Amino acid sequence: MQRDAYLAMAAAEDRHWWFRGRRAILQAVISRLPLAANARVLELGSGTGGNFALLSRFGTVTAVELDRAARQLSAGKNSAVTDVRAGSIPADLPLGSQKFDLICLFDVLEHIDDDLAALEVVRAHLAPGGSAVVTVPAFAKLYGPHDATLHHKRRYGRAKLAAKCRQAGLEVARLSYINMLLFPAALCSRLADRLLRRRRSSGNAMPPVVINEILAAIFGLEHYVIQVMNLPVGLSLLAVLRAAPVATETPDKG
């Protein structure tokens, strides 16, 4: 993206209802993970740093972002996050043999050609007992102008995401839909985009202030529910993953 696009994204991350609602849900989910007081946290595809304030509450944050303009914009987002590295997943990660207690990919996996390789990299950098939190857009059949505008390669079905994670050596500790309350309205909007053959989604722009606040409040309500149960439907999927134990061969006693 051009720098102007990243400037718009940086502003939207602070105010837009979708980012705000997602952060509320992520905080509720991460708060329930068995993390040490000063956990080693990694965000892959950190964009313009909109999640730094949230993640720094849980420990020391390392971030990796491909785009230089995004890295520059993220530098001023949170003084606690100073380790923002140039790189991309899966082939160009400047992490060496580092391990992390929490690895986050928030709406990143759908942008990557080889998503299995990306998940295998997550597995390789998880510390013993660590967790990964991944969010992706849900329902392959909803793919449309909204996804094309955002350069999504795909949307995910629940079973497909779970199978891909297991194939990468990750146990699925939790898998839930999110953005359920607004799902009917969003579904109608996406279907209208498709029927009217719009080239750009009608839902990308920042809504008027009052509507934005209402939508943020509705989406944010799900952070209460997600603490006690998984949601049966929604526009996105949220997965909590752990490294599967490495199988060892049993000595032949015959």
pLDDT in tens, 168-217: 999 999 999 999 999 998 888 777 777 766 666 555 678 899 999 999 99
Residue 254 has pLDDT above 50, yes or no: no
Q: Which CATH superfamily is domain 3-243 in?
A: Vaccinia Virus protein VP39 (3.40.50.150)
- Total residue length of the chain: 254
CA–CA gap between residue 136 and residue 149 (Å, rounded): 16
Share of residues in the chain with pLDDT > 70 (%): 88
**What is the pTM (predicted TM-score) of this model?**
0.90
More confident residue, 190 or 93: 93
**Mean pLDDT value of segment 27-52:** 94
Q: Which helix (H) or strand (E) holds 129?
A: strand 126-137
Q: What is the pLDDT of residue 190?
A: 74
By the 10 Å C-beta count (0-12 exposed, 13-18 middle, 19+ buried), 234 is classed as buried
Confidence of residue 245 (pLDDT cuts 50, 70, 90): confident
